[in-house]
Amino acid sequence: MIVLDTNVVSELMRSDRDRRVEAWARGLTVETAVTAITLGELLAGVRRLPEGARKDRLHSLVRDVTAPYEAQGLVLPFDAASADQYAEVLQGRRERGLPIATADAQIAAICRAHGAVCSTRNVKDFVHTGVELLNPFE
């Protein structure tokens, strides 16, 4: 399973998306998922926008893109198993003197709990988390 980080989902939502990412996504033969953290980040980004047509359009786009994942049970939650992995992620980064954003640590923890690869542009944010990383932008 490959978990799509927020920046990958955002890229796939763009009309002028990176062709490498688009080609990578089209060629996938393994199951993909998103995390509840990514869904929250996407919705928070929309909610920050001023009221209007653009906000409405982006909200609909987020829902359209994530609906298939929701329907298939592939919006992975931050649950008790993830919480255990979260502690490991934080400790591993702390031991190396590497801070990590809460959302990134939670996404890494969810990936660890599911034995999933994390697809992200921000590889440096996930190193030393114990998660296999894949950068579709390269």
Q: C-alpha dihedral over 8, 12, 72, 87, to 10 degrees?
A: 10
Determine whether the annotation assigns residue 84 to a binding site. Answer: no
18 is in an annotated binding site: no
Specify the amino acid at residue 106.
Q
For the record, the structure tokens of 19 come out as: 């062709």
Q: How far apart are CA 113 and CA 66, in angstroms?
A: 21
* DSSP, res 124: G
Length of the chain: 138
Q: Where are the beta strands (DSSP E) in 15-70?
A: 32-35
Positions at the binding site for Mg(2+): 5, 104
Positions at the binding site: 5, 104
